[in-house]
Amino acid sequence: MIGIIIQARMTSKRFPGKPMAYLAGKPVLAHVIERCKKVTLADKVVVAMPMDKKSEPMGELCKELDVDTFYGPEKDVLTRYYLAATYFDFKTIMRITADCPFIDPIVCSEVLSLLRTAELDYCSNVHPIRTYPKGLDCEAFTFDCLEAAHMLTKHRNHREHVTPFMQRHGDIKRACVRQKFNMSSENWCVDYEDDIKRLEGLINARAN
């Protein structure tokens, strides 16, 4: 089974509560979930969040949107992914973060397709060279690759950011999806509260 795991937390230091901040009439996390549901190669979408009362609003939103949830460690996100993938029996996992409301289902499908057809362990559109805007980040990996990272890496930064081990370990077969035009200087991600207004401006510009 191919599963998309969206990692989400309400305790960002730069913008607390950002997954539930409203963007164009609905929470940022709702945009991410709805777009992930359109990834044709994925069988299931799961939101993985910390075991904390602050996660409750996200849990309620997931119920409304009929999306499964998983609760795990807040800072050891690698363990959260490993436990979630084990629980749902995912053989292939795509990692998405909850601050990417413009995540592109077509790009996600391209990454998943390359992972499968080239028989890779890890594939993304961000490593080693980014050509897409920040906010379209997607990474896919096999369960075996995730398990190896979980078992072998001890570095705190690697466990918080999930995939550094996969990007750097010499035995892991990996590739990167790139686009013709380099748009890596653009930022479509919600990092700060001011980004909400900026992204709404992009949405309005597209509508017009």
Give yes or no for a contact between 138 and 124, defined as CB atoms under 8 angstroms apart.
Answer: yes
**Average pLDDT value for residue range 116-139:** 97
pLDDT at 208 over 70: no
**What is the dotted CATH code of the domain comprising 2-207?**
3.90.550.10
- Identify the pLDDT of residue 64: 98
For the chain, what are the domain ranges?
Answer: 2-207
Read off the amino acid at residue 164: P
**Average pLDDT value for residue range 161-181:** 95
pLDDT at 23 over 90: yes
pLDDT at 42 over 60: yes
> Among residues 185, 189, 183, 184, which one has the least CA distance to residue 202?
189
- Identify the pLDDT of residue 171: 92
Provide the mean pLDDT of the chain.
96
pLDDT in tens, 107-121: 999 999 999 999 999
pLDDT in tens, 54-63: 999 999 999 9
Tokens at 175, concatenated: 């590739």
**Average pLDDT value for residue range 76-95:** 98
Q: What CA–CA distance (Å, rounded) separates 168 from 149?
A: 11
- For the chain, report the end-to-end CA distance as a whole number of angstroms: 40
- Identify the pLDDT of residue 180: 94
The whole model's pTM is what?
0.96
pLDDT at 206 over 80: no
**Average pLDDT value for residue range 36-59:** 97
DSSP 52-68: SGGGHHHHHHHHHTT-E
150: helix, strand or coil = helix
> Among residues 87, 69, 63, which one has the least CA distance to residue 8?
69
Sequence-ordered alpha helix ranges (H) in the chain: 28-36, 56-64, 77-88, 105-117, 143-152, 156-161, 164-168, 194-207
pLDDT at 205 over 90: no
| Site of tokens 């080693």 | 128
Q: What CA–CA distance (Å, rounded) separates 162 from 77?
A: 6
